[in-house]
Amino acid sequence: MGERRYGMGPRGVGLHCGSVASGSRRDEFGLDGHRRRRCNVSAVTTYTAKLTAEQADRLERLVRSGTYRLREVAHARFSGVKPDHNLTYYESGKLVVQGKGTREFVEFVLEPEILGSATVGYEAVIDPTLGDPRIGVDESGKGDFFGPMCIAAVYVNAAVLAAWKEAGIRDSKSVGSDAQVGKLARIIRTTPGCVHDVVAIGNEAYNRMHRRYGSVNTVLAWGHARVIENLLERGASMVPPPVRAISDQFSSSKSTVERALMEKGKTLPLVQRHKAEEDMAVAAASILARDEYVLRLERLEREYGMPLPKGASAAVETAARALVAQHGAEALGKVAKMHFRTSYRVLGLPEPAANPWKRKVGKTDPADGEPSSS
C-alpha cells in the first residue's frame, strides 16, 4: 500500500477534509489520555488518485452511461456531475472527486467497481480508537405503522472490522433493497468474532408497552437496554471485551436510555450521539434490525394474506382499511402500532391533539403525530 501519512492515503491517493467548517478540526483525547488533533474523517470532500488506462476506461463508461451530467473541463478527458459530487479525469491520468458525497462514491462505487481495491481504509491510522472493541445498537420499525419494532446490538473488534472492509456494511437506510439488506445481514451473522442479538417487540406487546409508558422513546429505551443486556450476558464470546456501547441519540435527554439500562448494561459506558450509524458497529446493527423487521413483516403478510406496506403513507392507510374489512377491527392491533394517527382514521375515532411539547424535542411525523428520531 505504500507510505501512509497524516491527512493522506496510500501513495498516489490524497484524502482531504475540504474547507474547515465548525467542528471539522478539534482537539481530542485518546484512551491513553494524550491530546491529538485530527480532521473529522467522515467529512471527506476531496479525493484524488492516479488511474491505470483500464481503470480510466471503466470509469469513463460509467460516467457516460447517463447517470452523470457531462461537462467540459480544460485538459480533461471526461467530467461528470451529480447532486452530491462531481468527478474529473484529466489527460495526465489524475482523477479528482469533489463534493459532500465523495466518501460514499469512493467507498461504494469507485473502489469496488473501478479500482478493485480499498484506498480509504486508513482511518485507524488517524484515529486508533476506531478499532476498539465495542457494541453498536440501532432499531428499525419505529416509523412504520405495520410490523414490529426491532432493536439489534452488534459487537465488533478489529478483526471483524477488517473482515468487513470491502463488504459494503453501511447504514441500512442507504441500502437500496431489502434483498441487499438480507445479503449484508448474512455477512454480519457469519463473520467470525462478531456477536449479535436482536430484540423484536411484536405489535401486541408494543401496544401494551406504549399504553403503559405513553412514549415511543421509553419503549425504544427499554429495547436498547434489553438488547445490550442480552449481549453482555454472552460476555465470554466477546474477545476482547467491549469498551463502550454506541447508539443514536433518539431522545432529547440521554437519561431516557441511561435510566432503562439493566444490571450489566450499567457497567459499560454508553455513547449516545446523532448520526451514530456512521460508526460501523451501529451500521451493522441497523442492518440486522432492518432485516429482522422485514422478515417479520413478511410473516405477517403471509398470515393475513395481504400486503402490509412499510412506512406511514396513504397506501398504508388503504391497506389498513382493507385489513379491518377482511379480518375485523381487532386484527389491527395485532399487526400495527395503534398510537399512529392512521389507526384513529381507519377505525373512525377522533384523532388526539398533537402535544406542543413533542414538537420542541423531536420531529413530528405528520402521518402518525409521534416524534421521530433523526
Query: CATH topology of 14-126 equal to that of 132-297?
Result: no
- Measured CA to CA in angstroms, residue 154 lies from 63, 99, 163, 164, 209 at distances of 37, 31, 15, 13, 25
The secondary structure of the chain in percent helix, strand, coil, rounded to multiples of 5, reads 45, 20, 35
The answer to whether residue 87 scores a pLDDT higher than 90 is yes
Which of 21-35, 69-83, 151-165, 190-204 shows the lowest per-residue confidence on average (mean pLDDT)? 21-35
Q: How far apart, in whole angstroms, are the C-alpha atoms of residue 162 and residue 142?
A: 31
**CA atoms of 89 and 278, how far apart (whole Å):** 29
What is the overall mean pLDDT for the chain?
Answer: 83
Query: Exposed/middle/buried for 202, CB within 10 Å: 0-12, 13-18, 19+?
Result: middle
What sign has the CA pseudo-torsion 287, 293, 296, 302? Answer: negative
High-pLDDT (> 90) share of the chain, %: 66
What pLDDT, on a 0 to 100 scale, did the predictor assign at position 166?
Answer: 77
pLDDT recorded at residue 188: 98
CATH architecture of 132-297: 2-Layer Sandwich (3.30)
pTM of the model: 0.66
CATH 3.30.310.10 for domain 14-126, yes or no, is yes
Per-residue pLDDT at 139 = 97
Per-residue pLDDT at 269 exceeds 50 = yes
Longest dimension (CA), the chain: 69
21 by Cβ neighbours in 10 Å (0-12 / 13-18 / 19+) ranks as exposed
Q: Per-residue pLDDT for 82 more than 60?
A: yes
Domain boundaries, the chain: 14-126, 132-297
188-230 tens-digit pLDDT: 999 999 999 999 999 999 999 999 999 999 999 999 999 999 9
CA 161 to chain centroid: 16
Rounded distance between C-alpha atoms, residue 15 and residue 227, angstroms:
37
The pLDDT-based confidence of 92 (bands split at 50, 70, 90) is very high
- Strand, helix or coil for residue 110: helix
Whether 176 has a pLDDT exceeding 80, the answer reads: yes
Q: Does the pLDDT value for residue 19 go beyond 60? A: no
pLDDT on residue 118? 58
